[in-house]
């Protein structure tokens, strides 16, 4: 019987046949795909014709396409719908893929041909995208050991293999710790303060686990309302500590050793390649360019944000003292609780006032309407497209002329097989082959509150912005119009990739946008104008603290990867020192961020977490342009589509941004939006 991962997919738009794939299909499919990829590489290296852009660089770009399909399907499922069996397969597949990719980048004959093309590029007539592909291909070899001696190449292989294994284990440990904790409540009085929606979901969670009473977890839809509304301070503390002590408790799923190993291996790898640190290696391919520039950038914003953040925490502390905390010191498990009450008192607004206006189905329709108004896109559910879980909906994406742009998968609810957080990913990226435009298969995965017996899924305003954020990434993938996959869609500099996503969040604060979809789930009344005004007025509430928190993660990331430090002895001590400049609360024994920081240890953000704040400068500046012309202005939207979304990584991001904006970005709109402008004195 033909392996469904290898056969031509008999599905609409050649989508992944999730309904036919079984766990046992992955390793045989991957092994066969790798063999096919190796043959394609061999055809390049044994070609007796002189090396050219087409017969070497383009041929290499197109080689191994089946490997990417099989691998992306496996690892996307490992994040969104995993099982112990899939985790085991991922552990087996990871070293196979690492070895395959190293076989390519360390292939001397292949590099020799690429090098010939690179050194003779002046004799070719290449457009900007082809030049970028050639540059990226050549650097892909040199930055992965092509110039190393044989002994060093072997060590690089060993490092890469272990890095892939360790990162996977890190992520699995965090997921296990997340799933392992349940706050089981029997006494109804312990639910005091919690909104009915949170109580109802907790009741459902308990029933799913064959428990009496109510069950809360550290998944965001459960954790967030509990830490924000539960009157029982001792239980808030218990929940907070469960959340912030994941994978650092000295048990079988402790990540402390893996943190140290991952840092050390990345550092050794960078030095093998001639860089002082992993950050120096990573930032060579970023807009920021250097550790010094990132540090200066973070410090620059810190000087404006920290005084305001300190004032904001003092205000919450004073409010807490006067409203029940007494002489106790404000702690991290108190912040959300008292700040939400203070926010409601100051602005007459909180999550529970807003949630009825944001049923998930309406928000989905809303984000689709925004895409239609900006980019003339339509999203049509297609039940013939196979999905990997009943919660997932697949949509065909077309424009008003009927052109097919891609397939969009939406997966919104938490479950044990899904890691926490929210992300966008692709099963197939846009590219052109043999004159045919291969359209992308794009997915966004979130963890929103499930519908209950009495209510639909009602989103907090933060969840609304999260959906818009991930959808911005999806648009970047879906509206790509590149020729080469490596520089198409979201394959851009890491500190540029967050621009489309963060830009989309801005629409959530605008009346013209909210009027499209924000309607009460019971009465169908549109969100009142006064609530919209309060959303905008309260947008900067605790923004200084939120900025400091984000900067802290950036400083922690750069401390791990930007310094040529010796072997770290104590992960807790190292983290405490790294976060000292942004600390606004007393340290708490046993709490550690690094051990659950998937972004920088198991994701792609090692030495790149600063990029969220970097991209905020870009998105605030870009939205300022939209506001000047109108948030649904067709000309500005078309310029953004044509110069940013369609272009992917085909040119340097600053070139693309200036082409869209007509000028370099200014930090002023970000400081203004965040309420830091007065402090900035600009």
Q: Is residue 429 in a domain?
A: yes
Nearest residue to 557 via CA among 603, 510, 520, 508: 603
Tell me if 163 sits within 8 A of 262, measured CB to CB.
yes
Q: What backbone phi and psi angles, to 5 degrees, belong to 408?
A: -120, 120
Confidence of residue 680 (pLDDT cuts 50, 70, 90): very low
Helix axes 611-629, 653-661, angle to 10 degrees: 20
Asked if 87 and 205 sit in the same domain, the reply is no
- Per-residue confidence (pLDDT) for residue 576, from 0 to 100: 96
Torsion of CA 410, 413, 419, 425, to 10 degrees: 10
Q: Is residue 580 in a domain?
A: no
Nearest residue to 560 via CA among 551, 568, 552, 569: 568
- Per-residue confidence (pLDDT) for residue 677, from 0 to 100: 67
Listed in sequence order, the residues at least 6 apart from 214 whose beta carbon sits closer than 8 Å to its beta carbon are 184, 185, 191, 199, 202, 203, 205, 206
Count Cβ atoms within 10 A of the Cβ of residue 182 and give its class: 0-12 exposed, 13-18 middle, 19 or more buried: middle
Q: Is residue 454 in a domain?
A: yes
d(CA 427, CA 572): 37
- Per-residue confidence (pLDDT) for residue 682, from 0 to 100: 33
> H/E/C letters for each residue in 194-215?
CCHHHHHHHHHHHHHCCCCCEE
Helix axes 571-578, 256-272, angle to 10 degrees: 70
Asked if 32 and 127 sit in the same domain, the reply is yes
Query: Would you state the structure tokens that stand for residue 648, as one six-digit string?
Result: 């992917």
Listed in sequence order, the residues at least 6 apart from 92 whose beta carbon sits closer than 8 Å to its beta carbon are 27
Nearest residue to 614 via CA among 285, 292, 287: 287
Nearest residue to 644 via CA among 655, 633, 634, 629: 655
Q: What is the pLDDT of residues 494-507, one digit of tens each?
A: 899 999 999 999 99
Lowest-confidence pick of 232-236, 447-451, 677-681: 677-681
Query: Would you state the structure tokens that stand for residue 100, as one six-digit string?
Result: 């395959």
Asked if 58 and 115 sit in the same domain, the reply is yes
For 521, what's the count of Cα atoms within 13 Å in the CB-facing half-sphere?
19
Question: Which 3 state secondary structure label does DSSP give 480?
Answer: coil
Q: Is the pLDDT of residue 678 over 80?
A: no
Q: Is residue 314 in a domain?
A: no
Sign (positive or negative) of CA dihedral 332, 333, 334, 339: positive
Q: Which helix (H) or strand (E) holds 411?
A: strand 404-411
Q: Domain of residue 101: give its range.
A: 12-147
Query: Would you state the structure tokens that stand for residue 324, as one six-digit string?
Result: 């029940």
The angle formed by the CA atoms of residues 246, 250 and 251, to the nearest 5 degrees, is 80
CATH, residue 94: 1.20.1050.40
Q: Which of 197, 215, 244 is the last residue of a domain?
A: 244
Q: Is the pLDDT of residue 657 over 50?
A: yes
Share of the chain above pLDDT 90, in %: 94
Q: What is the pLDDT of residues 328-365, one digit of tens each?
A: 999 999 999 999 999 999 999 998 999 999 999 999 99
Q: Is residue 170 in a domain?
A: no
CB under 8 Å, gap of 24 or more: what pairs does 510-513 form?
A: 510/631, 512/631, 512/632, 513/366, 513/370, 513/631
Question: Which 3 state secondary structure label does DSSP give 151?
Answer: helix
Count Cβ atoms within 10 A of the Cβ of residue 517 and give its class: 0-12 exposed, 13-18 middle, 19 or more buried: buried
SS3 content of the chain, % helix, strand, coil (to 5): 60, 5, 35
Q: What is the pLDDT of residues 352-406, one digit of tens each?
A: 999 999 999 999 999 999 999 999 999 999 999 999 999 999 999 999 999 999 9
Task: State how beta strands 404-411 and 441-445 pair.
Answer: parallel
Q: Is the pLDDT of residue 601 over 50?
A: yes
Q: How far is CA 125 from CA 53, 54, 120, 181, in A?
A: 10, 12, 11, 60
Asked if 67 and 122 sit in the same domain, the reply is yes
d(CA 508, CA 623): 12
Question: Which 3 state secondary structure label does DSSP give 83?
Answer: coil
d(CA 512, CA 629): 14
Mean pLDDT of 8-15: 95
Task: State how beta strands 393-399 and 377-381 pair.
Answer: antiparallel
The angle formed by the CA atoms of residues 89, 92 and 96, to the nearest 5 degrees, is 130
State the total domains in the chain: 3
CB atoms within 10 A of CB 584: 18
Tell me if 512 sits within 8 A of 518, measured CB to CB.
no
CATH, residue 427: 1.10.1370.40
- Terminal C-alpha separation, the chain: 68
Mean pLDDT of 163-190: 97
Asked if 536 and 650 sit in the same domain, the reply is yes
- Per-residue confidence (pLDDT) for residue 668, from 0 to 100: 86
Q: Is the pLDDT of residue 58 over 90?
A: yes
Q: Is residue 329 in a domain?
A: no
Query: Would you state the structure tokens that stand for residue 551, as one six-digit string?
Result: 């900067």
Q: What is the pLDDT of residues 473-492, one digit of tens each?
A: 999 999 999 999 999 999 99
Asked if 118 and 216 sit in the same domain, the reply is no
Q: What is the pLDDT of residues 609-641, one digit of tens each?
A: 999 999 999 999 999 999 999 999 999 999 999
d(CA 540, CA 5): 49
Mean pLDDT of 228-246: 98
Count Cβ atoms within 10 A of the Cβ of residue 491 and give its class: 0-12 exposed, 13-18 middle, 19 or more buried: buried
Nearest residue to 644 via CA among 527, 511, 479: 479
Q: Which of 124, 147, 170 is the last residue of a domain?
A: 147
Q: Which helix (H) or strand (E) holds 634?
A: helix 634-640
CB atoms within 10 A of CB 284: 12
Tell me if 202 sits within 8 A of 447, measured CB to CB.
no
- Per-residue confidence (pLDDT) for residue 7, from 0 to 100: 77
Q: Which of 196, 222, 244 is the last residue of a domain?
A: 244
Share of the chain above pLDDT 70, in %: 99
d(CA 628, CA 114): 46
The angle formed by the CA atoms of residues 492, 493 and 498, to the nearest 5 degrees, is 80
Asked if 487 and 412 sit in the same domain, the reply is yes
Confidence of residue 671 (pLDDT cuts 50, 70, 90): confident
Q: Is residue 160 in a domain?
A: no
Asked if 207 and 100 sit in the same domain, the reply is no
Q: Which residues are catalytic?
A: 470
Mean pLDDT of 116-124: 93
Asked if 140 and 202 sit in the same domain, the reply is no
Asked if 141 and 239 sit in the same domain, the reply is no
Listed in sequence order, the residues at least 6 apart from 330 whose beta carbon sits closer than 8 Å to its beta carbon are 313, 316, 317, 320, 321, 338, 585
| Mean pLDDT score across all residues of the chain | 95
Q: How far is CA 584 from CA 305, 327, 347, 442, in A?
A: 12, 18, 24, 39
Query: Would you state the structure tokens that stand for residue 108, as one six-digit string?
Result: 């001397």
Tell me if 592 sits within 8 A of 245, measured CB to CB.
yes
Strand-pair partners of 526? 519
Asked if 102 and 195 sit in the same domain, the reply is no
Q: Is residue 315 in a domain?
A: no
Listed in sequence order, the residues at least 6 apart from 15 whose beta carbon sits closer than 8 Å to its beta carbon are 9, 385, 386, 394, 407, 427, 441
Sign (positive or negative) of CA dihedral 207, 210, 212, 218: negative
Q: What is the DSSP letter of 182?
A: -
Q: What backbone phi and psi angles, to 5 degrees, belong to 409?
A: -100, 135
Q: Is the pLDDT of residue 321 over 90?
A: yes
Confidence of residue 544 (pLDDT cuts 50, 70, 90): very high
Lowest-confidence pick of 86-100, 387-401, 548-562, 661-675: 661-675
Asked if 188 and 135 sit in the same domain, the reply is no
Q: How far is CA 664 from CA 155, 487, 653, 656, in A?
A: 42, 22, 11, 10
């Amino acid at each position: 019987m033909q392996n469904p991962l290898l056969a031509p997919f008999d599905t609409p738009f050649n989508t992944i046949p999730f309904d036919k794939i079984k766990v046992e299909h992955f390793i045989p499919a991957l092994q066969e795909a790798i063999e096919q990829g190796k043959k394609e590489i061999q055809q390049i290296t044994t070609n007796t014709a002189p090396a050219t852009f087409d017969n070497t660089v383009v041929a290499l770009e197109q080689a191994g396409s089946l490997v990417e399909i099989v691998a992306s399907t496996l690892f996307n499922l490992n994040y969104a719908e995993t099982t112990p069996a899939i985790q085991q397969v991922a552990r087996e597949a990871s070293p196979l893929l690492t070895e395959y990719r190293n076989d390519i980048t360390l292939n001397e004959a292949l590099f020799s041909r690429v090098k010939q093309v690179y050194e003779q590029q002046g004799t070719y007539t290449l457009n900007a995208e082809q030049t970028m592909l050639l540059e990226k291909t050549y650097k892909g070899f040199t930055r992965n050991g092509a110039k190393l001696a044989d002994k060093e190449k072997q060590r690089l292989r060993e490092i890469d293999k272990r890095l892939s294994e360790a990162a996977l284990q890190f992520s699995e440990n965090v997921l296990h710790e997340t799933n392992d904790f349940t706050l089981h409540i029997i006494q109804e009085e312990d639910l005091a303060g919690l909104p009915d929606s949170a109580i109802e979901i907790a009741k459902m969670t308990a029933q799913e686990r064959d428990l009496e009473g109510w069950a809360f977890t550290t998944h965001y839809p459960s954790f967030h309302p509990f830490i924000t509304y539960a009157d029982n301070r001792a239980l808030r503390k218990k929940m907070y500590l469960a959340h912030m002590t994941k994978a650092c408790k000295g048990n079988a799923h402790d990540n402390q050793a893996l943190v140290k190993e991952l840092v050390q291996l990345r550092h050794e790898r960078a030095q093998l390649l001639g860089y002082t640190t992993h950050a120096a290696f990573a930032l060579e391919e970023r807009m920021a360019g250097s550790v010094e520039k990132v540090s200066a950038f973070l410090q620059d914003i810190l000087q404006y944000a920290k005084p305001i953040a300190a004032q904001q925490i003092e205000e919450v502390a004073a409010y807490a003292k006067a409203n029940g905390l007494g002489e106790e010191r404000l702690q991290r498990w108190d912040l959300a609780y008292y700040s939400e009450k203070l926010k409601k008192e100051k602005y007459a607004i909180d999550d529970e006032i807003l949630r009825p206006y944001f049923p998930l189905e309406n928000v989905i329709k809303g984000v689709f309407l925004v895409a239609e108004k900006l980019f003339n896109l339509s999203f049509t559910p297609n039940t013939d497209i196979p999905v990997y879980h009943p919660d997932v909906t697949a949509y065909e994406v077309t424009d008003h002329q009927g052109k097919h742009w891609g397939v969009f998968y939406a997966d919104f609810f938490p479950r044990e097989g899904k890691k926490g957080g929210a992300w966008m990913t692709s099963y197939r990226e846009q590219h052109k082959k043999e004159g045919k435009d291969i359209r992308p298969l794009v997915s966004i995965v979130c963890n929103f509150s499930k519908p209950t017996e009495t209510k639909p899924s009602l989103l907090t305003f933060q969840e609304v912005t999260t959906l818009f954020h991930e959808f911005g990434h999806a648009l970047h993938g879906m509206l790509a119009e590149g020729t080469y996959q490596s520089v198409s869609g979201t394959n851009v500099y890491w500190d540029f990739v967050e621009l489309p996503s963060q830009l989309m969040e801005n629409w959530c604060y605008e009346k013209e946008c909210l009027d499209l979809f924000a309607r009460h789930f019971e009465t169908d009344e549109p969100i009142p104008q006064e609530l919209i005004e309060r959303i905008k007025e309260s947008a900067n509430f605790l923004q200084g603290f939120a900025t400091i928190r984000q900067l802290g993660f950036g400083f922690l990331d750069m401390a791990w990867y930007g310094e040529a430090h010796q072997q770290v002895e104590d992960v807790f001590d190292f983290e405490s020192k790294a976060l000292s400049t942004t600390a606004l609360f007393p340290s708490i024994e046993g709490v550690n961020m690094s051990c659950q920081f998937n972004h920088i240890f198991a994701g792609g953000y090692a030495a790149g977490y600063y990029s969220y704040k970097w991209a905020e400068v870009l998105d605030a500046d870009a939205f300022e342009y939209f506001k000047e012309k109108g948030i649904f202005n067709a000309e500005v939207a078309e310029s953004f589509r044509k110069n940013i979304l369609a272009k992917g990584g085909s040119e340097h991001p600053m070139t693309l941004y200036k082409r869209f904006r007509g000028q370099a970005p200014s930090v002023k709109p970000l400081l203004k939006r965040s309420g830091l402008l007065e402090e900035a004195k600009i």
